[in-house]
Chains A and B, each alone.
Chain A
Amino acid sequence: MITIRIDGRDCPSRPDINLLHACLEAGANLPYFCWHPELGSVGACRQCAVTQFSGPEDKTGRIVMACMTPVSDGAIVSIDDAGAKEFREGVIEWMMVSHPHDCPVCEEGGECHLQDMTVMTGHNTRRYRFTKRTHRSQNLGPFVKHEMNRCIACYRCVRFYRDYAGGDDLAVFGSHDNVWFGRAEDGTLENPFSGNLAEICPTGVFTDKPFSGVYSRKWDLRGAPSVCVHCAVGCNTIVNAREETVRRILNRYNEDVNRYVLCDRGRFGHGFVSASSRIRAPLRIIDGQRIAVPTQDAMTQFARMAANGAVVGIASSRASLETCFSLRMLVGADCFSTGQTEQEQSCAELAHTLLGQHPGRLPTLHEMESADAVLILGEDVCATAPRLGLSLRQSVRQPAFHAADATKVPRWMDAAVRTLGTECASGLFVLTPAPTDLDSIAGETRRAAPDDIARLGFAIAHRIDAGAPDVPDLTEEDALLADRIATALMAAKEPLIVSGMQYGSPALMRAASGIAAALAGRTPMAGLSLVLPDCNSMGLAMLGGLTLESVMMKARSGGIGTLVVVENDLTRRLDPASLAELMEAVRSVVIIDHSMTPLCQDATLVLPAAAFSEYSGTLVSQEGRAQRFFQAVYAAAPVQASWRWIQALARSRNGQETGEKPDTGTRPAATGLTGWRTLDDVLAALAWEFPALAGAVKTAPDAAYRLENQKLRSQTYRASGRTVIRSHISVRDQPPPASPDTPFSSSMEGAYTTDMPSPLVPGFQVPSWNSVQALNRFQQEIGGSMRGGPSGVRLFADRTHENGNPTQYSYSADIPEPFTPRNDAVLVLPETRLFGSEELSMLSPPVAARAAPASLRVSARNSASADAGAASASAGADATPRASVTLHLTDGPHVLPAEPLPGLPDGIVLCPSHMVAPGFVFPRLAHLTFAAPEGDRS
């Protein structure tokens, strides 16, 4: 700990940070633009000028840029010094020379860092009397709006987009006072993190385009802390709502997980909650016709069904923990299915087991950033866990940081560190079947079939620990590669192995686990991370249940009367024939979901569930982090949380309208499903039934929590129009809606402080700081932990510190055979796409707009055959040269355009299964023909 003196006040500080950072941590109001805690310092904007004195005798001092000046013990600085103040006023005045001053129509207004800083410096009189320079703005696609005239040239956008996120289609153009930021030509920003520009840009140049269509000022938005539902990483978000509709998703800082950045799928995927695919009332499906019915009728009908044979519940990896658990309570453990195929479930359970056994570290996303050697084993993380991919991208900078340390350049000197790192070797190794976005920064890449990658993995483990089984007859090339990777991993202080279940290969995950365990024998910092597909895949794996195959068996034997399917579109998991068989074998099907899915066609009854924004619940991320999301929108009845529907089903089945009598003894008060009143009751019961999940209770304070004796407000004090917003309907003052499940008031009444519990922060705002930058004030240390403590609870033990007592790890010897390309069939692997593969985000119009059309990615050899096929098929006709191929799956032929994918190994094709055959379980071998059948060419 060191001390610095800021305007006569002694403030504790810490070394290794810069003066700006230190001043902000000390609570001082010092304006800045180009600096960003996650991007470091470059000294471009010159807004953070302060006067630094060489000692107590120095009365004049020297103006320095705080962001470029390292903190030193005993440093004396002044923010209030007249010289520094004048200079800062000058800087903001220069910034505003060509700014359009269009705040009233600017969507950044009210949460604009430039507005805040302008007020903070005191600049209010315009002296520049000449014409402003103007720019042309561009159409940058469905996510991001561009208004270049508002630019103050802080260079944050390109630094984030290019240097941090690895994008290359956004750049700076021109020079002197005519610099602009955009694309060379109009067009969609391709980088999967483009949406963050809206938060990174300190003014209104880059804004959230979908939000623009349903715009509201920040102060009129209700906020709720939430968790992203579009992959298993579990990024923390803020849902902003007004008039009971979701308007946008913002990043919510979680030190360990997403920190300052969300991926575009998470930011823009929320559109499904307002889409026309929503279900708003109970529906009976009669002869394919949907008929809305009153809730009471629906319940009565269910009671009738339930009396007619066993009820089996099918849960879902995208439903909350509480929902899955309630369903299990409704149907009993023997009739509860996870809603996953055998393959998916065994992989998820394997992931759970392997993580539980791992003798080293289970790193958080943030910890992954400091991994100095990373091996990715058969998972395209950029598509399956985008935010995790971004963390791995940062890890590649470790050697540059070490070079900087050696030259005594502070790590936050961003441009300098990048310069010094130019020639540093990358410690990232990507072994995947197909190219990934991380390849360009990898030290080495290798394309191979999943089995071959797993073999390489086992070979690497053996090289690290001779106790791990060796792989016979590895090719010489692979043996050398395994040597190189093993050497790099052993040399690292924080090695990390990443794999996952994208290709449905247990061997890949076992190999990854083996390497990580072998490394853990050398360093407890050896990390393992396994990617799962859905937002609650891990939670579901911890609950356990029947696979869909087992359900099928039950159904075949006539053991199922009613299926209750909750938030699970089984058409994405079962092939059409199996699904048809299942539907035939059961008498009735009840679906509880928020969106119409193809499965609803087959239902008897459909019940309208709340979407994630409309209720509160818990999800367990792939790293075993239980996290709470809160209700932001009070949906009109009868829409309600799935678990409440399940409860309603239970009540109607029992013919009961009231709760059960509480048991005596140690069980929580409201144990029975029908007795629960609030989310906290569900969680208490869950903790009792599943001790491993007990931590979920502590994920966030319960509904009884009060801050300063009040509920927490979810609107700002400035929120306007509460009474007039419905005045075209009624002039009566409406009471604000309320939820029994949370400690939030839905209005501006209530408490809000910078040290409120982090899981409950509904948005960031403090006096003088209305933009997202207000976050600085909620952090204990900027970029460090939140004042209000951590958000989320990790359910797995971290063994990093169990040095003396290593757990017994037994290596798997289940090494697959090498893959040999065949002449009569190709190995079909799923092509997972960032935009397209995930179910819910595809119901969001801006995300759907980014999804590419279906095509089959084929290897060079297959592509040559396809071309030949196309050439013969189109001989004589002037058909398009783009070759079509036919993939013969069990449900028949699928005709697709073939696109060669450089690097794809022979004998493998990538199929966007989500579009082509959503119910198939890949990988599988299939027949491929190189010309479309006659009938398909018209």
Chain B
Amino acid sequence: MSTADHPLPVPMQTEILALAKAELRPRGAAIAALRLVQARFRWISTPHLREVARLLDMSPDDLDGIATYYNLLFRKPVGHHVILLCDSVSCWIMGRERLCAHLRETLGIRPGETTPDGAITLLPTVCIGHCDHAPAMLVDESLHGDVDVKHLDRITDSLRESHR
């Protein structure tokens, strides 16, 4: 994760400044800017947070108050892939607990943790609006519905494959 300490790439800095300019006040771009950093580095390290704060004319404390508020902004390193397994009511009714148990077993991690090889982070998430295909999950940016154990295995295998 050494990249987390690197300065933000110049084009990204430019992009953040442009986002800030498009808002009435620079801070209006706070969430968009943090998402941008996360999209590139997978999480928001403290040095990066400080740089974004500087670009947005905010204090790091102020910005970190925002970063720690929103649960999809990661202030700790995550794996190469993030599985967001829905834990809301329709998916729960449709058996998401079993899927979670299965992932715990096959990946050897609990929700909130990352596999030791850094490939996969498992996180619970609130309803992702796919309740008619519960249980559902997001793997990085792709949506999966009607998930069963077989489906899960296929996905985790391919994630590990791509990581290697």
**A interface residue numbers (CB < 8 A to B):** 162, 168-175, 183-185, 422-423
Return A178 CB to nearest CB of chain B, in Å: 9
A173 to B70, CA, bound (A): 10
Contact at A173–B59, with CB atoms within 8 Å?
no
**CB atoms of B68 and A173 under 8 A apart:** yes
Contact check, B69 vs A168: say whether CB atoms are below 8 A apart. Answer: no
* A168 contacts B68, C-beta separation under 8 Å: no
Q: Which of B17-49 contact A (CB under 8 A)?
A: 24-25, 46, 49
- Binary flags per residue of B111-134, CB closer than 8 Å to A gives 1, else 0: 000000000000000000000000
Least CB distance, A115 to chain B, in whole angstroms: 29
Decide yes or no whether B51 CB sits under 8 A from chain A. Answer: no
Instruction: List the 9 closest A-B pairs by CB distance, nearest first.
Output: A171-B65, A168-B59, A184-B64, A171-B61, A173-B68, A184-B61, A175-B69, A169-B61, A184-B60
Residues of chain B with a CB closer than 8 A to A168's CB:
58-59, 61-62
Cross-interface CB contact of B64 among A162, A171, A422, A423, cutoff 8 Å: A171
Identity of the chain A residue whose Cβ is nearest the Cβ of B64 in the assembled complex:
A184
Q: Are A183's CB and B69's CB within 8 A? A: no
A582 to B152, CA, bound (A): 91
Size category, B interface: 10 to 19
Task: For the complex, give the distance between the alpha carbons of A168 and B27 in Å.
Answer: 13
Which chain A residue has the least Cβ–Cβ distance from B65?
Answer: A171
A797 to chain B, nearest CB (A): 45
CB <8 Å contact, B62 and A173: no
Question: Which B residues fall within an 8 A CB radius of A?
Answer: 24-25, 46, 49, 58-62, 64-65, 68-69, 71
Quick one: which of B59, B60, B64 has the most chain A CB within 10 A? B59
A-B pairs with beta carbons under 8 Å apart, 16 shown:
A168-B61, A170-B61, A171-B59, A171-B61, A171-B62, A172-B65, A172-B69, A173-B65, A174-B68, A174-B69, A175-B71, A184-B49, A184-B61, A184-B64, A422-B24, A422-B25
- B59 near A169 with CB under 8 A, answer yes
Q: Which residues of A contact B46 (CB under 8 A)?
A: 184-185
Report which of A173, A184, A185, A423 forms a contact with B69, defined as CB distance below 8 A: A173
Docked complex Cα distance between A423 and B28 (Å): 14
Per the bound structure, the CA–CA distance linking A172 and B62 in Å amounts to 8
Q: Shortest Cβ distance from B5 into chain A, in angstroms?
A: 15
User: Residues of A contacting B71 with CB < 8 Å?
Assistant: 175
Residues in A whose Cβ lies below 8 Å from that of B65: 171-173, 184
Nearest CB in chain B: distance from A10 CB, A: 46
Residues of B within 8 A of A174 (CB): 68-69
Closest A residue by C-beta to B60: A184
A587–B20 CA distance with the chains assembled, in angstroms: 70
CA–CA, A184 and B45, complex, Å: 12
Q: Knowing that A168-B61, A171-B65, A184-B65 are A-B contacts, what are 8 other residue pairs whose CB atoms are under 8 Å apart, sorted by A's residue number?
A: A168-B59, A170-B61, A171-B59, A172-B69, A184-B46, A184-B49, A184-B61, A423-B24
Task: Compute how far the CA of A175 lies from the CA of B67 in the bound complex, rounded to whole angstroms.
Answer: 10
Residues on A with C-beta less than 8 A from B61 are: 168-171, 183-184
Distance between Cα atoms of A169 and B46 in the complex (Å): 15
Q: Which residues of chain A come closer than 8 Å to B59, judged between CB atoms?
A: 168-169, 171
> What CA separation (Å) do A675 and B73 show in the bound complex?
76
A435 to chain B, nearest CB (A): 15
Kindly report which residue of chain A lies nearest to residue B59, judged by CB atoms. A168
- The docked-state distance in angstroms from the alpha carbon of A168 to that of B69 is 17
Chain A residue numbers with a CB within 8 Å of B25 are 422
Q: How far is the CB of A181 from chain B (nearest CB, A)?
A: 9
Cα of A184 to Cα of B71 in the assembled complex, Å: 17
Measured between beta carbons, the chain B residues less than 8 angstroms from A169 are 59, 61
Provide the residues of chain B in CB contact with A422, threshold 8 Å: 24-25
CB-nearest residue of chain B to A423: B24
The residue on A at minimum CB distance from B53 is A184
Query: B67's closest neighbor in chain A, by CB?
Result: A173
Cβ distance A674 to chain B, nearest Cβ, rounded Å: 60
Cα A172 to Cα B49 in complex, Å, equals 16
* Chain B, residue nearest A180 (CB): B68
Counting chain B CB atoms within 10 Å of each CB, the highest count among A168, A169, A171 belongs to A171
Closest to A182 in B: B61
A175 to B73, CA, bound (A): 13
Give the complex CA separation of A171 and B69 in angstroms.
11
Q: Which residues of A contact B60 (CB under 8 A)?
A: 184
B132 to chain A, nearest CB (A): 28
Residues of A within 8 A of B64 (CB): 171, 173, 184
Determine how close the nearest CB of chain B comes to the CB of A266; give it in whole angstroms: 25
Residue on A nearest B70 in the bound complex, by CB: A175
Q: Give complex CA distance A749, B69 in Å.
A: 53
Q: How far is the CB of B144 from chain A (nearest CB, A)?
A: 27
**Chain B residues in 8 Å Cβ range of A172:** 65, 69
Residue of B nearest to A173 (CB): B68
Cα distance, A172 to B71, chains bound together (Å): 15
CB-defined contacts of B24 to chain A, threshold 8 Å: 422-423
CA distance A172 to B69 in the complex (A): 9
B58 contacts which chain A residues (CB < 8 A)?
168
Name the B residues within 8 Å of A170 (CB-CB). 61
Q: How far is the CA of A423 from the CA of B24 in the complex (A)?
A: 9
From A174, which residue of chain B is reached at the shortest CB distance? B68
Chain B neighbourhood of A185, CB < 8 A: 46
For A171, the chain B residues whose CB sits under 8 A away are 59, 61-62, 64-65
CA gap between A174 and B75 in the complex, in Å: 11
Bound complex: CA of A581 vs CA of B59, how far in Å? 51
Closest residue of A by beta carbon distance from B68: A173
* Residues of B close to A173: CB separation below 8 A: 64-65, 68-69
In the complex the two chains form, what is the Cα distance from A422 to B25 in whole Å? 10
B43 to chain A minimum Cβ distance, whole angstroms, is 16
